Amino acid sequence: MKTIIFSTAIRLLTPVFLLFSVYILFRGHNHPGGGFIGGLICSIAFVFHVLAHGPGVTSRVFFSVVLYYYSRPKSHSYTRYALRVLRANFRNKRDTDEPHKWSFVFLRIRPLYLVATGLLLAASSGIVSLLGQKPFMTSYWLKFELPVIGSIGTPSLFDLGVYLLVLGVVLQFIFIMSKE
């Protein structure tokens, strides 16, 4: 499966899929779609990415964040320090000839964290109403409508939770299984 054309196509298509899945997620309340379908589309994008590039690459590209920093020497002002750190992180350029050592934090988003977050979001969208002495999962809607997305309320939050959870679950499956 790891032909060059396939992997290149996948690399190009993945962001499109991701955008499309988010679109599906938010239009779901009025048109076919919703959290499940959105989450599944999104995860299928990643599934193909995993199939094309292997789980290691996918998780490095999409699910890990590397934050670079160094301890601020006295000579650097705060602004300068902040700018340098920002540049290092965003443009991925580090001046290696600097006297100080760069260190980094490596954050990996495990799929199970996504699962937990999704579950938490879904549950807390219901808990909101408990605070207002209403039954669990009573919906609250914003008074105004957003362009493209439409009206926003706690059910949308719930749907988002479903989306994240489905994504997390499928990723968990795929990561583990492709390592087997």
Partner 1 sequence: MELLLPFLIGILFSVSIYFILHRHLFKLIMGLILFGLATNIFLFVVGGLTNGDVAIIKKTHEVAVVPYADPVPQALLLTAIVIGFGLQAFAIVLIRKVYQSFKSNNLDDLHKAE
Partner 2 sequence: MVYLLLTGFLVAFAAPLLHHWLGRRVFVPLTLLPLIFSAYFIWQVPGVLAGETVTQSISWVPSLGVQLQFRLDGLSLLFALLVSVFGVLIMLYSRGYMGETPLLGRFYMYLTLFMVAMLGIVISDNFFCLFLFWELTSITSYLLIGFHQHKSESRTAAWQALLVTGAGGLALFAGLLLLGQASGEITFSGMMQSGMDIRGSSLYLPAMVLVMLGCFTKSAQFPFHFWLPNAMAAPTPVSAYLHSATMVKAGIYLLARLSPVFNSAEIWQFTLPLVGGITAVMGAALALKHTDLKAVLAYTTISALGLLVMLLGIGTDEATKAALVFLVAHALYKGTLFMVAGTLDHCTGTRQLPLLKGLGRRLPWVGAAATLAAYSMAGVYPSLGFVGKELLYESALHNNGTLGLVLGVALLAGMVFVAIALVLSFRIFWRKSSHPIALQHAASPYLFLPPLLLGLASLAGVSATTPLLLQASLSIAPELHTSGKLVESQGFSLVVQLSALTTLLGLILYLFTPRLHLRPFTTQDFPFGPDSLYHLLFSNFLSGSKRFIHTLQDGYLRHYLVYLLLFFCGLSCYVLWRDALVLHLGDRFYMLQSLRLYEVVLFILVVSALLLLLNTRSRLTSIVVMGLVGYSAALFYILFGAPDVAATQLLIETLTVVIFVLLLHKLPAFSYLSHQVFKLWYVFVAVLFGSVMTYVLLLVQENAVSSDLKDFYGEASYLQAHGRNMVNVILVDFRGLDTLGEITVLAVAAVGVYALLRLKPQKGGKP
Partner 3 sequence: MSHNLLLVLPLLLPLLGAVACLLVGQRAKVQAILAGVVQAAWLASASVILYEVSQNGIFATRIGNWPAPFGITFVADLFGALILTSAAVVGLAVWLFSLQGLDFERKRIGYYPLLLLLQMGVSGACLTGDIFNLYVWFEVLLICCFALLSLGGTRAQLEGTLKYVTINLIASGLLLTGIGVIYSLFGSLNMAVLAQQVRQHGHQSMPLLSLTSIFFLTGFGIKSAIFPLFFWLPASYHTPPIAISAFIAGLISKVGIYTLIRLFTLLFVSDLDFMLPLLLVLSGLTMVVGVVGAAAQTDFRKILSFHIISQIGYMLMGLAIYTPLALAGSVFFIVHNILVKTNLFLVSGVVARLHHSFSLKKLGEVYCRQPMLALLFLVSALALAGMPPLSGFWGKFMLAKGGFEAGNYTIVGVSLFVSLATLFSMTKIWNEVFWKNKPASELPIPESAPKATVPTVWLLYTPVVLLFIAILFISVYAEPLIGLAQQAANQLLYTKAYTDAVLNQ
Residues forming contacts to partner 3 in the complex (CB under 8 A) are: 110, 112-113, 115-117, 119-120, 123, 126-127, 129-130, 133-139
Residues 34-63 that bind partner 1 (CB under 8 A): 36
Instruction: Of 7, 12, 17, 36, give the one whose Cα is nearest residue 159.
Output: 36
| Minimum distance from residue 28 beta carbon to partner 2 (Å) | 5
Question: Which tokens belong to 178?
Answer: 């492709």
> Does 18 participate in binding partner 2 (rule CB under 8 A)?
no
| Minimum distance from residue 76 beta carbon to partner 1 (Å) | 52
Q: Encode 17-57 in three state secondary structure.
A: HHHHHHHHHHHCCCCCCCHHHHHHHHHHHHHHHHHHHCHHH
Q: Encode 47-100 in three state secondary structure.
A: HHHHHHHCHHHHHHHHCEEEEEECCCCCCCCHHHHHHHHHHHHHCCCCCCCCCC
Report the alpha-carbon distance of residue 75 to residue 90 in Å, rounded: 23
Residues 129-158 that bind partner 2 (CB under 8 A): 136-137, 139, 141, 151, 153, 155-156, 158
> Does 120 participate in binding partner 2 (rule CB under 8 A)?
no
Binding site for partner 2 (CB under 8 A): 28-37, 40-41, 43-44, 47, 51, 111-112, 115-116, 118-119, 122-123, 126, 136-137, 139, 141, 151, 153, 155-156, 158-159, 161-162, 165-166, 168-170, 172-174, 176-178, 180
Q: Which residues bind partner 1 (CB under 8 A)?
A: 30-32, 36, 169, 173, 177, 180
